[in-house]
């Protein structure tokens, strides 16, 4: 039996943004993709939701101060 890491209480909700959504996001915050925080391609969650390099992932965190907070990470390779 393989465990579902997405169900672990420490793992917040991850979802891949569609291309339109990603574009809209970058436009609203006037950002380039490289300016977003990163998540590695071989991160277990990235593998679990089958995201590809360059995808933007929307993370809905449960926050003790705001209740819920949204954060974005871009899937990228490790930079050495």
Residues 73 and 37 sit within 8 Å (Cβ to Cβ): yes
Q: Which of 19, 20, 34, 78 binds another protein (CB under 8 A)?
A: 78
* 3-class SS of residue 72: strand
Looking up tokens 């169900």 gives: 7
Write down how long the chain is: 80
- b/e burial code for range 14-34 (CB count within 10 A of at least 16 → b): bebbeeeebeebbeeeeeebe
Residue from 26, 45, 51, 56 binding another protein (CB under 8 A): 45
Residue 20 binds another protein (CB under 8 A): no
Among 12, 16, 25, 58, binds another protein (CB under 8 A): 12
Per-residue contact track with another protein, 52 to 71, x per CB under 8 A? -------x-x-xxxxxxx--
Residues that bind another protein in the complex, under the rule CB under 8 A: 1, 3-5, 7-12, 14, 37-40, 43-46, 59, 61, 63-69, 73, 76, 78-79
């Amino acid at each position: 039996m393989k465990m579902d890491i997405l169900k672990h209480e420490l793992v917040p909700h991850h979802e891949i943004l569609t291309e339109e959504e990603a574009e809209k996001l970058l436009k609203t915050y006037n950002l380039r993709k490289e300016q977003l925080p990163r998540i590695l391609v071989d991160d277990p969650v990235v593998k679990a939701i089958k995201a590809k390099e360059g995808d933007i992932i929307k993370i809905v965190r449960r926050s003790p101060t705001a209740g819920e907070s949204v954060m974005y990470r871009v899937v990228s390779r490790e930079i050495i």
